[in-house]
Structure 1
Amino acid sequence: MKIKSQRDFWSGLMFVVVGVAFAWASTSYSFGSSARPGAGYFPFGLGVLLAILGAMVLFKALTIESEGGDPVGAFAWRPLIVMVVSIAVFGLLLPRLGMAITLPILVISSALAGDEFHWKDALINAVVLTVFSWIIFVWGLKLVIPVWPVFITG
């Protein structure tokens, strides 16, 4: 068997593995019905869909010659580590500092992972994402997410 596109092969394989893992993990939750879906309904469907899309990409990588078939390059460790640490810090700080402070920290620290970091762009992005996150999650969906730091709200 000859791999005609390494990039498509590895990305398709990754999608299949992640999709199957999500579908399998969601089986421990109740499915409910189509009219009243349970907690496992959406993750299972999403996992199956991701696995199917990955299988299609994997099939293409094994059968069709493509222009992007060159080997996968070096792994970008710095952006990966910066992104993982940024998300972990967000998760740790959100209950203590609230969304108004931790979301801009997440956006700015994540922007540092890229090669084209500009403070103005990162700050505008942070403000817009924080405002829209508040509108969607706190005001619209009424989720209980701390907006302000604990030392301000009491």
Structure 2
Amino acid sequence: MNIKSQKDFFSGLMFMGVGVAFAWGSSGYTIGSSARMGPGYFPLALGVLLAVLGGVITFKALVVETVDGDKIGAFAWRPLIFIILANLVFGAMIGGLPSIGLPPMGLIAGIYALTLISCLAGEAFNLKEALVLATILAALSYGAFIMLLKLQFPVWPAFIGA
């Protein structure tokens, strides 16, 4: 069996792996039925859907001929590191880190940190564009999560006030 597209083959395997993991992880919860869904219903459905999609993509990679074989290129370390770091910093800023004495900094500061760090993942960084994006995201997040959904978590750092 000859792999005709490396990119599709390995992405299909990744989808299948994630799908199987979701389906297996949902087995510890009540599945329920379509009319009365349990907490494991959606992860199971998502896992099966991902596994089937991965199977189709992997099959296509083995059957459909591509021009250059779609070789896998160099691994993009910079975006991977900055996106993971941005999410970790956002989580730490929303909830704080009592173990090191960092109080919760709130939604607004967390979104600004998340956006600025995420923008460093790209090849070009423009501070003005990043700040405009952070402001728009902060306003929309405040409107969606605080005003509409009425979620209860800090919006501002404790030293600024509620």
When the two structures are superposed, what TM-score results if normalisation uses the length of structure 1?
0.89
CA RMSD of aligned residues (A): 1.8
Give the CA deviation at 1:68. 6.4
1:36-85 superposed Cα distances (whole Å, 9 cap, x missing partner): 42322222211221111111111110110124632101111122111111
In the alignment, residue 135 of structure 1 is paired with which amino acid? Answer: G
2:24 maps to what in 1? 24
User: Take 1:111 and 1:75, find their aligned partners in 2: how far apart are those partners?
Assistant: 19
Match of 2:107 among 70, 95, 99: 99
> Equivalent residue of 2:9, what SS?
helix
Map Cα deviations across residues 101-152 of structure 1 (whole Å, 9 max, x no partner). 0011101101101102212221121112222222222222233232122333
**CA gap 1:136/1:34 in 2 versus in 1, 3 angstroms:** farther
Partner of 1:129: 137
Distance 1:68 1:138 in 2: 50
Change (3 A) 1:140 1:26: farther
How far, CA to CA, are the matches of 1:60 and 1:145 in structure 2?
46
Distance in 1, Cα, partners of 2:142 & 2:33 = 31
Q: Percent identity?
A: 53
Distance 1:145 1:59, change over 3 A: farther
The 1:119/1:67 distance shift into structure 2, 3 A limit, reads farther
Match of 2:98 in 1: none
Give distance in 1, aligned partners of 2:127 and 2:67: 36
Query: Which consecutive unaligned segments of at least 5 residues does structure 1 have?
Result: none
Give the distance between the partners of 1:85 and 1:146, measured in 2 at CA: 21
How many residues are treated as equivalent by the alignment? 154
Match of 1:139 among 136, 147, 152: 147
CA distance in 2, matches of 1:27, 1:143: 30
Unaligned runs of 5+ in 2: 96-103
8 Å contact kept, 1:111–1:122: yes
Deviates more, 1:54-63 or 1:69-78: 69-78
- Structure number with the bigger relative contact order (C-alpha 8 A, sep ≥ 6) is 1
Structure with the greater alpha carbon radius of gyration:
2
- 1:3-152 aligned within 5 A: 3-67=3-67, 69-95=69-95, 96-152=104-160
Distance 2:157 2:35 in 1: 39
Task: Report which stretch shifted further, 15-24 or 36-45.
Answer: 36-45
Letter in 2 for 1:59: F
